[in-house]
Structure 1
Amino acid sequence: MFSSEVISTFNDLDYNIYNYILNNGEQVIYMRIRDLATATHVSTSTILRFCRKVGCDGFSEFKVKLKLYLESESEESVKGMKEFAYEFMERTLKGNLDEVITEAAHEVVRANHVLFVGFGSSGILAQYGARYFSSLGKFSIAINDPYFPINAQQLDNSITIALSVSGESPQTVDQVTRLKEEGSKIISITNTKSSTLAHLSHIVIPYYATEERREIANLPLNITTQLPVMYILEATAREVYKLT
Protein backbone atom coordinates (compact mmCIF):
# COMPACT_ATOMS: atom_id res chain seq x y z
CA MET A 1 0.00 0.00 0.00
CA PHE A 2 2.88 2.34 0.77
CA SER A 3 5.39 1.71 -2.00
CA SER A 4 8.85 3.25 -1.97
CA GLU A 5 7.82 5.39 -4.96
CA VAL A 6 4.88 6.83 -3.03
CA ILE A 7 6.88 7.34 0.15
CA SER A 8 9.53 9.27 -1.78
CA THR A 9 6.89 11.92 -2.58
CA PHE A 10 6.03 12.55 1.08
CA ASN A 11 6.73 15.87 2.76
CA ASP A 12 7.23 16.31 6.51
CA LEU A 13 3.49 16.42 7.24
CA ASP A 14 2.93 13.30 5.15
CA TYR A 15 5.64 11.45 7.07
CA ASN A 16 3.98 12.47 10.31
CA ILE A 17 0.65 11.00 9.13
CA TYR A 18 2.37 7.93 7.69
CA ASN A 19 4.23 7.15 10.93
CA TYR A 20 1.06 7.58 12.98
CA ILE A 21 -0.84 5.19 10.70
CA LEU A 22 1.95 2.59 10.91
CA ASN A 23 1.79 2.65 14.70
CA ASN A 24 -2.00 2.92 15.04
CA GLY A 25 -3.45 1.27 11.95
CA GLU A 26 -6.07 -0.75 13.81
CA GLN A 27 -7.47 2.44 15.36
CA VAL A 28 -7.24 4.58 12.21
CA ILE A 29 -9.65 2.36 10.26
CA TYR A 30 -12.37 3.36 12.74
CA MET A 31 -11.51 7.06 12.95
CA ARG A 32 -13.23 10.02 11.35
CA ILE A 33 -11.07 12.28 9.26
CA ARG A 34 -11.25 14.93 11.99
CA ASP A 35 -10.01 12.42 14.56
CA LEU A 36 -6.95 11.58 12.48
CA ALA A 37 -6.29 15.24 11.75
CA THR A 38 -6.39 16.03 15.48
CA ALA A 39 -4.16 13.06 16.36
CA THR A 40 -1.54 14.04 13.78
CA HIS A 41 -1.84 17.82 14.34
CA VAL A 42 -2.69 18.62 10.72
CA SER A 43 -5.74 19.89 8.87
CA THR A 44 -8.37 17.68 7.27
CA SER A 45 -7.30 19.00 3.86
CA THR A 46 -3.78 17.70 4.54
CA ILE A 47 -5.25 14.28 5.32
CA LEU A 48 -7.16 14.35 2.02
CA ARG A 49 -4.01 15.28 0.08
CA PHE A 50 -2.23 12.39 1.79
CA CYS A 51 -5.03 10.02 0.74
CA ARG A 52 -4.73 11.13 -2.87
CA LYS A 53 -0.96 10.59 -2.79
CA VAL A 54 -1.49 6.94 -1.85
CA GLY A 55 -4.03 6.46 -4.64
CA CYS A 56 -7.34 7.02 -2.84
CA ASP A 57 -10.10 9.43 -3.82
CA GLY A 58 -10.98 10.20 -0.22
CA PHE A 59 -10.60 9.21 3.41
CA SER A 60 -13.35 6.56 3.28
CA GLU A 61 -11.64 4.75 0.42
CA PHE A 62 -8.32 5.05 2.25
CA LYS A 63 -9.76 3.37 5.36
CA VAL A 64 -11.15 0.50 3.29
CA LYS A 65 -7.78 -0.06 1.60
CA LEU A 66 -5.97 0.23 4.91
CA LYS A 67 -8.27 -2.37 6.48
CA LEU A 68 -7.67 -4.78 3.58
CA TYR A 69 -3.93 -4.13 3.77
CA LEU A 70 -3.80 -4.86 7.51
CA GLU A 71 -5.84 -8.05 7.08
CA SER A 72 -3.61 -9.30 4.26
CA GLU A 73 -0.46 -8.55 6.28
CA SER A 74 -1.87 -10.42 9.29
CA GLU A 75 -2.91 -13.43 7.20
CA GLU A 76 0.46 -13.50 5.45
CA SER A 77 2.26 -13.43 8.79
CA VAL A 78 0.19 -16.28 10.24
CA LYS A 79 0.51 -18.30 7.05
CA GLY A 80 4.24 -17.71 6.97
CA MET A 81 4.69 -18.89 10.57
CA LYS A 82 2.60 -22.00 9.94
CA GLU A 83 4.62 -22.80 6.82
CA PHE A 84 7.86 -22.25 8.72
CA ALA A 85 6.78 -24.48 11.63
CA TYR A 86 5.75 -27.28 9.26
CA GLU A 87 8.86 -26.91 7.14
CA PHE A 88 11.29 -26.86 10.06
CA MET A 89 9.65 -29.71 12.00
CA GLU A 90 9.40 -31.82 8.84
CA ARG A 91 13.09 -31.44 8.14
CA THR A 92 14.04 -31.88 11.79
CA LEU A 93 12.11 -35.14 12.15
CA LYS A 94 13.33 -36.58 8.84
CA GLY A 95 16.92 -35.34 9.03
CA ASN A 96 19.84 -35.88 11.38
CA LEU A 97 19.71 -32.52 13.16
CA ASP A 98 19.79 -34.08 16.64
CA GLU A 99 22.86 -36.13 15.74
CA VAL A 100 24.74 -33.09 14.45
CA ILE A 101 23.77 -31.05 17.52
CA THR A 102 25.08 -33.84 19.78
CA GLU A 103 28.33 -33.99 17.80
CA ALA A 104 28.72 -30.21 18.11
CA ALA A 105 27.97 -30.34 21.85
CA HIS A 106 30.75 -32.89 22.41
CA GLU A 107 33.21 -30.57 20.66
CA VAL A 108 32.07 -27.63 22.80
CA VAL A 109 32.51 -29.66 26.01
CA ARG A 110 36.12 -30.50 25.06
CA ALA A 111 36.99 -26.85 24.28
CA ASN A 112 38.51 -24.41 26.76
CA HIS A 113 37.03 -21.33 25.07
CA VAL A 114 33.81 -20.78 23.09
CA LEU A 115 33.59 -17.85 20.69
CA PHE A 116 30.42 -16.81 18.91
CA VAL A 117 30.82 -14.89 15.65
CA GLY A 118 28.10 -13.07 13.72
CA PHE A 119 27.23 -9.69 12.27
CA GLY A 120 23.95 -7.85 11.77
CA SER A 121 20.98 -9.87 13.00
CA SER A 122 23.31 -12.86 13.32
CA GLY A 123 25.45 -10.71 15.60
CA ILE A 124 22.50 -10.22 17.92
CA LEU A 125 21.99 -13.99 18.02
CA ALA A 126 25.72 -14.49 18.63
CA GLN A 127 25.39 -12.34 21.75
CA TYR A 128 22.32 -14.31 22.78
CA GLY A 129 24.13 -17.60 22.21
CA ALA A 130 27.13 -16.53 24.28
CA ARG A 131 24.89 -15.45 27.13
CA TYR A 132 22.76 -18.61 26.96
CA PHE A 133 25.78 -20.95 26.93
CA SER A 134 27.35 -19.01 29.81
CA SER A 135 24.13 -19.24 31.83
CA LEU A 136 24.32 -23.04 31.49
CA GLY A 137 27.90 -23.17 32.73
CA LYS A 138 30.03 -22.87 29.54
CA PHE A 139 31.59 -19.42 29.59
CA SER A 140 31.44 -17.89 26.12
CA ILE A 141 32.00 -14.54 24.43
CA ALA A 142 30.50 -13.00 21.30
CA ILE A 143 32.51 -11.29 18.56
CA ASN A 144 30.60 -8.84 16.37
CA ASP A 145 33.51 -6.53 15.64
CA PRO A 146 35.34 -7.30 12.36
CA TYR A 147 38.52 -5.79 13.86
CA PHE A 148 38.42 -7.80 17.09
CA PRO A 149 42.07 -8.57 18.03
CA ILE A 150 42.78 -12.28 17.83
CA ASN A 151 45.41 -13.63 20.22
CA ALA A 152 46.68 -17.08 19.29
CA GLN A 153 47.40 -18.00 22.91
CA GLN A 154 43.84 -17.19 23.94
CA LEU A 155 42.55 -19.45 21.15
CA ASP A 156 44.33 -22.55 22.42
CA ASN A 157 41.80 -25.42 22.37
CA SER A 158 38.98 -23.03 21.42
CA ILE A 159 35.86 -23.55 19.38
CA THR A 160 34.10 -20.95 17.28
CA ILE A 161 30.35 -21.03 16.62
CA ALA A 162 29.73 -18.90 13.53
CA LEU A 163 26.27 -17.66 12.59
CA SER A 164 25.26 -16.50 9.11
CA VAL A 165 22.06 -17.06 7.15
CA SER A 166 23.70 -17.00 3.72
CA GLY A 167 27.10 -18.22 4.85
CA GLU A 168 28.60 -15.62 2.53
CA SER A 169 28.88 -12.55 4.78
CA PRO A 170 32.36 -11.13 4.03
CA GLN A 171 32.84 -10.03 7.65
CA THR A 172 31.91 -13.45 9.02
CA VAL A 173 33.97 -15.36 6.46
CA ASP A 174 37.04 -13.15 7.09
CA GLN A 175 36.77 -13.47 10.86
CA VAL A 176 36.24 -17.24 10.73
CA THR A 177 39.17 -17.66 8.35
CA ARG A 178 41.45 -15.84 10.80
CA LEU A 179 40.18 -17.89 13.74
CA LYS A 180 40.62 -21.13 11.84
CA GLU A 181 44.16 -20.19 10.84
CA GLU A 182 44.94 -19.65 14.53
CA GLY A 183 43.75 -23.16 15.33
CA SER A 184 40.16 -22.66 16.47
CA LYS A 185 37.69 -25.36 15.45
CA ILE A 186 34.67 -24.00 13.57
CA ILE A 187 31.01 -24.93 14.01
CA SER A 188 28.72 -23.05 11.64
CA ILE A 189 24.98 -22.57 11.93
CA THR A 190 23.86 -21.50 8.48
CA ASN A 191 21.06 -21.99 5.99
CA THR A 192 22.93 -24.25 3.57
CA LYS A 193 25.82 -26.72 3.50
CA SER A 194 27.14 -25.36 0.21
CA SER A 195 28.19 -21.88 1.39
CA THR A 196 31.71 -20.56 1.89
CA LEU A 197 31.25 -20.56 5.67
CA ALA A 198 30.12 -24.19 5.60
CA HIS A 199 33.23 -25.19 3.67
CA LEU A 200 35.43 -23.52 6.30
CA SER A 201 33.75 -25.43 9.11
CA HIS A 202 34.56 -28.65 10.92
CA ILE A 203 30.87 -29.15 11.72
CA VAL A 204 27.97 -27.60 9.80
CA ILE A 205 24.47 -27.34 11.25
CA PRO A 206 22.24 -26.29 8.32
CA TYR A 207 18.55 -25.55 8.76
CA TYR A 208 17.39 -24.99 5.15
CA ALA A 209 14.71 -22.36 5.82
CA THR A 210 13.06 -20.85 2.76
CA GLU A 211 14.84 -17.58 2.06
CA GLU A 212 12.79 -14.41 2.16
CA ARG A 213 13.97 -11.14 0.70
CA ARG A 214 12.25 -7.78 0.56
CA GLU A 215 13.13 -4.33 -0.60
CA ILE A 216 12.37 -1.45 1.75
CA ALA A 217 13.15 2.10 0.63
CA ASN A 218 15.20 0.63 -2.24
CA LEU A 219 17.36 -1.37 0.19
CA PRO A 220 17.46 -5.17 -0.34
CA LEU A 221 16.91 -6.99 2.96
CA ASN A 222 17.22 -10.66 3.86
CA ILE A 223 14.33 -11.39 6.25
CA THR A 224 14.74 -15.16 6.39
CA THR A 225 13.49 -16.42 9.75
CA GLN A 226 16.11 -16.86 12.47
CA LEU A 227 13.91 -19.08 14.64
CA PRO A 228 15.79 -22.27 13.62
CA VAL A 229 19.00 -20.64 14.85
CA MET A 230 17.42 -19.98 18.24
CA TYR A 231 16.31 -23.61 18.43
CA ILE A 232 19.75 -24.93 17.46
CA LEU A 233 21.58 -22.65 19.90
CA GLU A 234 19.38 -23.60 22.83
CA ALA A 235 19.33 -27.31 21.98
CA THR A 236 23.14 -27.37 21.69
CA ALA A 237 23.60 -25.47 24.97
CA ARG A 238 21.30 -27.86 26.79
CA GLU A 239 23.15 -30.85 25.36
CA VAL A 240 26.46 -29.32 26.54
CA TYR A 241 24.95 -28.90 29.99
CA LYS A 242 23.92 -32.55 30.10
CA LEU A 243 27.39 -33.69 29.07
CA THR A 244 29.26 -31.66 31.69
Structure 2
Amino acid sequence: MIAIFNAETIRNFNPTDFKIYECISQNEPLVVYMTIRELADCAGVSTASILRFCQKCGFAGYKELKFTLKNMLKKQSNVPNNNVSEIIDCIQKFEQPLYKARLEKALDILSEDVQIICIGIGNSGITARYAARRLSSLKKFSLCIDDPFYSVELPKTNTVALAFSVSGEREEVIRMVESFKKSGCPTIVVTVSETSLLSKYADVTLPYYLSYKGLSKVIDTTSQVPATALIEILANMLYERKQQEA
Protein backbone atom coordinates (compact mmCIF):
# COMPACT_ATOMS: atom_id res chain seq x y z
CA MET A 1 0.00 0.00 0.00
CA ILE A 2 1.31 3.47 -0.90
CA ALA A 3 1.79 5.51 2.29
CA ILE A 4 -0.13 8.55 1.03
CA PHE A 5 -3.35 6.50 0.76
CA ASN A 6 -5.01 5.20 3.92
CA ALA A 7 -6.61 1.77 4.19
CA GLU A 8 -10.13 3.12 4.79
CA THR A 9 -10.04 5.14 1.57
CA ILE A 10 -8.74 2.18 -0.43
CA ARG A 11 -11.57 -0.03 0.87
CA ASN A 12 -14.05 2.44 -0.63
CA PHE A 13 -12.44 2.47 -4.08
CA ASN A 14 -14.62 1.57 -7.05
CA PRO A 15 -13.17 -0.36 -10.05
CA THR A 16 -12.05 2.86 -11.77
CA ASP A 17 -10.32 4.06 -8.61
CA PHE A 18 -8.47 0.75 -8.34
CA LYS A 19 -7.22 1.08 -11.92
CA ILE A 20 -5.79 4.50 -11.09
CA TYR A 21 -4.33 3.30 -7.79
CA GLU A 22 -2.64 0.30 -9.41
CA CYS A 23 -1.18 2.50 -12.15
CA ILE A 24 0.29 4.86 -9.55
CA SER A 25 1.63 2.04 -7.35
CA GLN A 26 3.34 0.35 -10.32
CA ASN A 27 4.93 3.57 -11.58
CA GLU A 28 5.58 5.70 -8.48
CA PRO A 29 8.84 7.40 -9.59
CA LEU A 30 7.39 8.24 -13.00
CA VAL A 31 4.00 9.56 -11.90
CA VAL A 32 5.50 12.66 -10.25
CA TYR A 33 6.61 13.81 -13.72
CA MET A 34 3.42 12.86 -15.58
CA THR A 35 0.65 15.18 -16.69
CA ILE A 36 -2.91 14.33 -15.73
CA ARG A 37 -3.54 13.26 -19.33
CA GLU A 38 -0.54 10.91 -19.29
CA LEU A 39 -1.72 9.27 -16.06
CA ALA A 40 -5.25 8.96 -17.45
CA ASP A 41 -3.92 7.27 -20.60
CA CYS A 42 -1.76 4.95 -18.50
CA ALA A 43 -4.69 3.89 -16.32
CA GLY A 44 -7.15 3.77 -19.21
CA VAL A 45 -9.53 6.29 -17.63
CA SER A 46 -10.62 9.89 -18.20
CA THR A 47 -8.97 12.97 -16.69
CA ALA A 48 -12.24 13.63 -14.84
CA SER A 49 -11.85 10.23 -13.15
CA ILE A 50 -8.34 11.21 -12.06
CA LEU A 51 -9.67 14.42 -10.47
CA ARG A 52 -12.46 12.54 -8.68
CA PHE A 53 -9.89 10.02 -7.45
CA CYS A 54 -7.71 12.83 -6.06
CA GLN A 55 -10.63 14.39 -4.23
CA LYS A 56 -11.76 11.04 -2.83
CA CYS A 57 -8.24 10.57 -1.43
CA GLY A 58 -8.31 13.97 0.26
CA PHE A 59 -6.26 15.98 -2.23
CA ALA A 60 -7.37 19.33 -3.64
CA GLY A 61 -6.33 18.17 -7.10
CA TYR A 62 -3.81 16.27 -9.18
CA LYS A 63 -0.96 18.71 -8.47
CA GLU A 64 -1.32 18.17 -4.73
CA LEU A 65 -1.31 14.40 -5.18
CA LYS A 66 1.93 14.61 -7.20
CA PHE A 67 3.49 16.98 -4.66
CA THR A 68 2.65 14.64 -1.78
CA LEU A 69 3.90 11.58 -3.67
CA LYS A 70 7.15 13.37 -4.56
CA ASN A 71 7.77 14.30 -0.91
CA MET A 72 7.08 10.72 0.17
CA LEU A 73 9.61 9.36 -2.34
CA LYS A 74 12.14 11.99 -1.26
CA LYS A 75 11.81 10.96 2.39
CA GLN A 76 12.24 7.31 1.44
CA SER A 77 15.41 8.13 -0.50
CA ASN A 78 16.84 9.89 2.58
CA VAL A 79 16.54 6.73 4.67
CA PRO A 80 19.98 5.06 4.92
CA ASN A 81 20.08 2.18 2.48
CA ASN A 82 22.28 -0.80 1.99
CA ASN A 83 23.84 0.09 -1.35
CA VAL A 84 23.14 -3.36 -2.80
CA SER A 85 19.45 -3.29 -1.85
CA GLU A 86 19.07 0.20 -3.31
CA ILE A 87 20.61 -0.96 -6.60
CA ILE A 88 18.36 -4.04 -6.72
CA ASP A 89 15.30 -1.88 -6.06
CA CYS A 90 16.42 0.47 -8.82
CA ILE A 91 16.79 -2.33 -11.37
CA GLN A 92 13.40 -3.80 -10.44
CA LYS A 93 11.79 -0.51 -11.48
CA PHE A 94 12.86 -1.28 -15.05
CA GLU A 95 10.08 -3.90 -15.08
CA GLN A 96 7.34 -1.31 -14.51
CA PRO A 97 4.95 -0.92 -17.47
CA LEU A 98 5.70 2.75 -18.10
CA TYR A 99 9.43 2.12 -17.99
CA LYS A 100 9.07 -0.72 -20.47
CA ALA A 101 7.37 1.77 -22.78
CA ARG A 102 10.48 3.98 -22.57
CA LEU A 103 12.69 1.01 -23.38
CA GLU A 104 10.54 0.18 -26.40
CA LYS A 105 10.96 3.75 -27.70
CA ALA A 106 14.73 3.47 -27.29
CA LEU A 107 14.66 0.08 -29.02
CA ASP A 108 12.75 1.52 -31.98
CA ILE A 109 15.55 4.05 -32.48
CA LEU A 110 18.39 1.54 -32.08
CA SER A 111 16.72 -1.02 -34.36
CA GLU A 112 16.96 1.26 -37.38
CA ASP A 113 19.85 0.98 -39.84
CA VAL A 114 22.00 3.41 -37.87
CA GLN A 115 25.48 3.81 -36.46
CA ILE A 116 25.54 4.34 -32.71
CA ILE A 117 27.87 6.79 -30.99
CA CYS A 118 28.13 6.10 -27.25
CA ILE A 119 29.11 9.17 -25.23
CA GLY A 120 30.40 9.53 -21.68
CA ILE A 121 33.35 10.75 -19.63
CA GLY A 122 34.92 9.50 -16.41
CA ASN A 123 33.13 6.47 -14.98
CA SER A 124 30.33 7.01 -17.47
CA GLY A 125 32.95 6.86 -20.22
CA ILE A 126 33.80 3.32 -19.14
CA THR A 127 30.10 2.45 -19.30
CA ALA A 128 29.84 4.05 -22.74
CA ARG A 129 32.76 1.94 -23.98
CA TYR A 130 31.04 -1.20 -22.73
CA ALA A 131 27.80 -0.14 -24.44
CA ALA A 132 29.63 0.29 -27.75
CA ARG A 133 31.26 -3.14 -27.43
CA ARG A 134 27.99 -4.82 -26.39
CA LEU A 135 26.03 -3.32 -29.28
CA SER A 136 28.83 -4.17 -31.71
CA SER A 137 28.42 -7.82 -30.72
CA LEU A 138 24.92 -7.57 -32.20
CA LYS A 139 26.39 -6.35 -35.50
CA LYS A 140 25.46 -2.74 -34.86
CA PHE A 141 28.17 -0.29 -35.92
CA SER A 142 29.00 1.32 -32.56
CA LEU A 143 31.77 3.64 -31.41
CA CYS A 144 32.56 5.39 -28.15
CA ILE A 145 33.59 8.99 -27.54
CA ASP A 146 34.91 9.41 -24.00
CA ASP A 147 37.09 12.45 -24.67
CA PRO A 148 35.10 15.73 -24.69
CA PHE A 149 37.82 17.36 -26.78
CA TYR A 150 37.78 14.67 -29.47
CA SER A 151 37.09 16.30 -32.82
CA VAL A 152 34.54 14.49 -34.97
CA GLU A 153 32.69 15.48 -38.12
CA LEU A 154 29.08 14.72 -37.34
CA PRO A 155 27.08 12.89 -40.03
CA LYS A 156 23.71 14.29 -40.99
CA THR A 157 21.78 11.03 -41.11
CA ASN A 158 21.72 7.44 -39.83
CA THR A 159 23.46 8.23 -36.55
CA VAL A 160 22.16 7.84 -32.99
CA ALA A 161 23.78 9.32 -29.88
CA LEU A 162 23.59 7.15 -26.76
CA ALA A 163 24.78 9.34 -23.88
CA PHE A 164 25.70 8.31 -20.34
CA SER A 165 26.00 10.78 -17.47
CA VAL A 166 25.21 10.09 -13.82
CA SER A 167 24.28 13.65 -12.87
CA GLY A 168 23.14 14.69 -16.33
CA GLU A 169 24.74 18.07 -15.68
CA ARG A 170 28.31 17.69 -16.97
CA GLU A 171 28.95 20.57 -19.36
CA GLU A 172 31.28 18.52 -21.54
CA VAL A 173 28.71 15.79 -22.17
CA ILE A 174 25.91 18.31 -22.69
CA ARG A 175 28.03 20.11 -25.28
CA MET A 176 28.68 16.88 -27.20
CA VAL A 177 25.03 15.82 -27.12
CA GLU A 178 23.92 19.29 -28.19
CA SER A 179 26.18 19.01 -31.25
CA PHE A 180 24.56 15.71 -32.23
CA LYS A 181 21.08 17.16 -31.78
CA LYS A 182 21.92 20.13 -33.98
CA SER A 183 22.95 17.65 -36.67
CA GLY A 184 19.52 16.01 -36.44
CA CYS A 185 20.65 12.84 -34.67
CA PRO A 186 18.18 11.06 -32.35
CA THR A 187 19.49 10.98 -28.79
CA ILE A 188 19.01 8.50 -25.95
CA VAL A 189 20.17 9.61 -22.50
CA VAL A 190 20.92 7.34 -19.52
CA THR A 191 21.12 9.29 -16.24
CA VAL A 192 19.85 9.27 -12.64
CA SER A 193 17.13 11.86 -13.22
CA GLU A 194 14.87 12.83 -16.09
CA THR A 195 14.81 16.42 -14.82
CA SER A 196 18.52 16.92 -15.57
CA LEU A 197 19.68 19.42 -18.18
CA LEU A 198 21.02 16.62 -20.39
CA SER A 199 17.56 15.02 -20.49
CA LYS A 200 16.17 18.12 -22.19
CA TYR A 201 18.16 17.18 -25.29
CA ALA A 202 16.92 13.58 -25.32
CA ASP A 203 14.39 11.94 -27.58
CA VAL A 204 14.26 9.20 -24.94
CA THR A 205 15.49 9.45 -21.35
CA LEU A 206 16.21 6.28 -19.37
CA PRO A 207 16.50 7.45 -15.74
CA TYR A 208 17.50 5.00 -13.04
CA TYR A 209 16.54 6.94 -9.89
CA LEU A 210 19.62 6.01 -7.88
CA SER A 211 20.93 8.26 -5.10
CA TYR A 212 23.59 10.54 -6.59
CA LYS A 213 26.83 10.23 -4.60
CA GLY A 214 28.92 13.11 -5.92
CA LEU A 215 32.05 14.01 -3.97
CA SER A 216 32.68 17.11 -6.08
CA LYS A 217 31.66 18.63 -9.39
CA VAL A 218 33.83 16.16 -11.31
CA ILE A 219 34.05 13.15 -8.96
CA ASP A 220 31.22 10.82 -8.01
CA THR A 221 30.99 7.33 -6.57
CA THR A 222 27.50 6.51 -7.82
CA SER A 223 27.17 2.91 -8.95
CA GLN A 224 27.25 2.21 -12.69
CA VAL A 225 25.42 -1.11 -12.20
CA PRO A 226 21.95 0.26 -13.14
CA ALA A 227 23.33 1.89 -16.30
CA THR A 228 25.06 -1.37 -17.21
CA ALA A 229 21.82 -3.25 -16.54
CA LEU A 230 20.02 -0.95 -18.98
CA ILE A 231 22.66 -1.72 -21.61
CA GLU A 232 22.06 -5.44 -21.11
CA ILE A 233 18.28 -5.03 -21.25
CA LEU A 234 18.46 -3.02 -24.48
CA ALA A 235 20.94 -5.47 -26.00
CA ASN A 236 18.69 -8.43 -25.19
CA MET A 237 15.64 -6.62 -26.57
CA LEU A 238 17.58 -5.77 -29.73
CA TYR A 239 18.66 -9.40 -30.11
CA GLU A 240 15.07 -10.63 -29.71
CA ARG A 241 13.80 -8.17 -32.30
CA LYS A 242 16.50 -9.26 -34.75
CA GLN A 243 15.44 -12.87 -34.22
CA GLN A 244 11.81 -11.99 -34.90
CA GLU A 245 12.71 -10.14 -38.10
CA ALA A 246 15.04 -12.89 -39.36
Query: TM-score of the superposition, structure 2-length normalised?
Result: 0.61
Please state if 1:147 is matched with 2:145.
no
Letter in 2 for 1:98: K
Change in 2 beyond 3 A, CA 1:151/1:221: closer
Change in 2 beyond 3 A, CA 1:130/1:99: same
- Percent identity between the two aligned chains: 27
Counterpart position of 1:177: 178
Instruction: State the superposition RMSD in angstroms.
Output: 2.2
Change in 2 beyond 3 A, CA 1:212/1:109: same
SS in 1 for 2:194: coil
SS in 1 for 2:111: helix
Native 8 Å contact 2:86 2:210 kept in 1: no
CA–CA distance in structure 2, aligned partners of residues 150 and 181 of structure 1: 14
Native 8 Å contact 1:129 1:233 kept in 2: yes
CA–CA distance in structure 1, aligned partners of residues 107 and 188 of structure 2: 10
CA–CA distance in structure 1, aligned partners of residues 204 and 226 of structure 2: 17
Letter in 2 for 1:147: F
Q: CA deviation at 1:207?
A: 0.7
Native 8 Å contact 1:113 1:155 kept in 2: no
Counterpart position of 2:235: 237
Deviations 1:169-197 (A, max 9, x none): 11100000111111111100011111111
CA–CA distance in structure 1, aligned partners of residues 86 and 134 of structure 2: 27
Counterpart position of 1:97: 99
Deviations 1:14-33 (A, max 9, x none): xxxxxxxxxxxxxxxxxxxx
Deviations 1:10-57 (A, max 9, x none): xxxxxxxxxxxxxxxxxxxxxxxxxxxxxxxxxxxxxxxxxxxxxxxx
Native 8 Å contact 2:189 2:202 kept in 1: yes
Counterpart position of 2:118: 116
CA–CA distance in structure 2, aligned partners of residues 220 and 178 of structure 1: 22
Change in 2 beyond 3 A, CA 1:95/1:191: farther
1:1-244 mapped onto 2 (5 Å cutoff): 79-89=82-92, 91-94=93-96, 96-152=98-154, 154-214=155-215, 221-244=219-242
Name the larger-Rg structure: 1
Q: CA deviation at 1:79?
A: 2.7
**Greater share of strand residues, 1 or 2?**
1
Q: CA deviation at 1:212?
A: 2.0
Letter in 2 for 1:126: A
Q: CA deviation at 1:155?
A: 4.3
CA–CA distance in structure 2, aligned partners of residues 111 and 186 of structure 1: 15
Native 8 Å contact 1:114 1:139 kept in 2: yes
Q: CA deviation at 1:97?
A: 2.1
SS in 2 for 1:222: coil
Change in 2 beyond 3 A, CA 1:111/1:160: farther
Native 8 Å contact 2:90 2:226 kept in 1: no
Question: Structure 2: which 5+ residue stretches go unaligned?
Answer: 1-80
Counterpart position of 1:60: none
Q: CA deviation at 1:139?
A: 1.8
Query: TM-score of the superposition, structure 1-length normalised?
Result: 0.61
SS in 2 for 1:123: helix
SS in 2 for 1:141: strand
Residue-pair matches, total: 163
